[in-house]
Amino acid sequence: MPRRTLNTKATTLDRIDEIGPLLARIVDSAAVGMIVSDMSGRVVYINRALTALLGHTAEDAAGKSVLDIIHKDDTATARLQLRRLMRNEAEEYRGEHRFCHKDGHPLWVMVAAALLRDETTGKPAFVITQLTNIELQKKAEAALAHSESRWNFALESARQGVWDHDIVNDTMFYSRMWRVMRGIPPEEEVDGNQSEWLKRIHPDDLQHVIDNVDRQDKGDEGLDGLEYRERRRDGSYVWILSRGKPVEWDEEGNPTRTLGTDTDITHLKLTEHALAAEKERLRVTLDAIADGMIATDEQARIVLMNPAAEQLTGWTSAEAMGQSVATVFVVGDGATRAAQPCPVAQCLSENAPVQLDGDVVLLGKGGTRRDVRCTAAPLKTAGEKATGAVLVFQDVTQSRAIQRELAHSAAHDALTGLPNRNAFDRALNSAIASARDSRGHCLLYVDLDRFKPVNDTSGHAAGDELLRQVAETIRGSCRSHDVAARIGGDEFAVLLHDCPLESGKRIADKIVHAIGALDFSWAGRNYRIGASVGLTTVGAQPASPLGFMGEADAACYAAKARGRGMAVAFGDL
């Protein structure tokens, strides 16, 4: 395996986690079986092609050595060469060996193993072993071992066409398989003139072939092969990989004859194009999704940012590249506006996902504020080492605004805007709990006088407007930290925090006077209403079995019985 191929594969493996699970599935669907083992030989990765080839799954191979999968009847060469790689005594190895299928039978494979080195330290980290099924090839070789035409039949079984170019006379010899892959009858004579061959080259590939065919004839070592499309007899095109080199020279050292093979690589090219298209679709998908996405390296520096992240943060991708993610993704507490730690830093520190879905605000570059929900997850190698992180965040400003509205509606009276009965009960229970710590409170029960005639003579619209004015009057008569609520049709309650009875009585009287002073007009008619108020103290225990609300209600009833328009304390009954 050439060194440059090894580096390309290493880069591809390293990029799998950075690009995302979609591309990882594409790699896992590759046609070549792959085993990745650590330097002790322990299997850390098996792709699906390997499972299809040998039947072993990642779960089967867990804790096993790659050497255990070599068939017991195979020569010791494979084990010896793989151990040399594990000891860092060699960079790569190629060979044909029998590996053991899960059901026990041997299978001939082409083994291509190489070291994968850490890009930073240069030390070997893993051994990548690729296995290609050559069972049919080995069987063909065995069957043809006694044939005088073994060389020709081997080429045919590999579906490789042979060509022989007489450079001096510009004539070509083509083998039977060369004709077959182009849809030409095996025995048909083919014009070997190079100009006739060039006419069959795809127009998009023609210049590339013209520029490089002479390099092939001259044996240019820098030319690995020619890849091009050639028109078949039926008008379709076949992708050809043509490799050749000079085999004869004249007295001056000029090549006079070139021999080579053509391989049909149509399937490989289609797969290559499909992978490129899938990668492009992945890029387009990342660009199209509404969620912001930022990818970082292990130092939390930004390496990728999609358009949604640009819009939400106010940073362009060009500006953000290489910046610390904490500089670009600035979050604060939605209530206190206090700065919050960057979730990516915490994720990389703990090597575990971190989610922020509370009241978190993203502070954009231009001063914008957006409610967000975000998740940071580490990108890990097969050895569980974090090589970076992916931060995904959503703009939930609208949904949180709706949640706040719903929460407010659930706890408040729709007509008056005051807290409702459930919210008041929660506040009262909290006050009772604090009263056990020697804190005293007052509870007022307010019932309107002469309210019913307003509804009966002017309708519910007038009654509703009057209730809104009464609510504002009660709220304005209390202290800022007191809780005033509507608990019934024309009934209200007030919780006076940290208030002795004497102060509570003054506030109750203030409410009575304020409501009595309301001058309500509707449709040309004036109405005067009043209020009766009952009050009691909220201590560690109620003074009677009625409970605190019952005591305040009883006191309010007494106020009505004594002539209305007054405040009466439960202790005065």
> Which residues are catalytically annotated?
490
Judged on CB neighbours under 10 Å (0-12, 13-18, 19+), 196 is exposed
Tokens 């993704």 identify what position?
329
The H-assigned helical ranges of 38-129 are 48-54, 58-61, 77-86
Helices (H), 171-223: 176-180, 194-199, 203-217
- In this structure, are residues 36 and 44 in contact, taking their beta carbons and an 8 Å threshold? yes
Strands 171-174 and 292-297: unpaired
Residue with tokens 């979730």: 343
d(CA 324, CA 560) in angstroms, rounded, equals 70
CB 536 within 8 A of CB 442: yes
In this structure, what token pair is assigned to residue 331? 């979050």
Token pair, residue 197, equals 């061959």
Residue 15 to residue 11: CA distance in whole angstroms: 6
Contacts of 416 (CB under 8 A, 6+ apart): 467, 468, 470, 471, 486
Take residue 336 and report the two structure tokens written for it: 């206190």
Instruction: For 387-453, give the DSSP string.
Output: EEEEEEEEE-HHHHHHHHHHHHHHHB-TTT-SB-HHHHHHHHHHHHHHHTTT--EEEEEEEEES-HH
Q: Annotate 438-494 with three-state secondary structure.
A: CCCEEEEEEEEECCHHHHHHHCHHHHHHHHHHHHHHHHHHCCCCCEEEECCCCEEEE
Write the secondary structure of 110-167 as one string of H (helix), E (strand) and C (coil): EEEEEEEECCCCCCEEEEEEEEEECHHHHHHHHHHCCCCCHHHHHHHHCCEEEEEEEC
Q: β-strand 530-538 against 567-569: which pairing, if any?
A: parallel
Q: What is residue 236's DSSP assignment?
A: -
Q: Which helix (H) or strand (E) holds 303?
A: strand 302-305
Look at phi and psi of residue 515 and say left if phi exceeds 0, alpha if psi is from -120 to 50, else beta. alpha
195: its two tokens: 């100009």
530 to 144, 325, 458, 478: CA distances (angstroms)? 115, 63, 18, 17
The Cα–Cα gap between 90 and 76 comes to 17
Q: From the CB of residue 52, how many other CB atoms can be counted at a distance below 10 Å?
A: 11
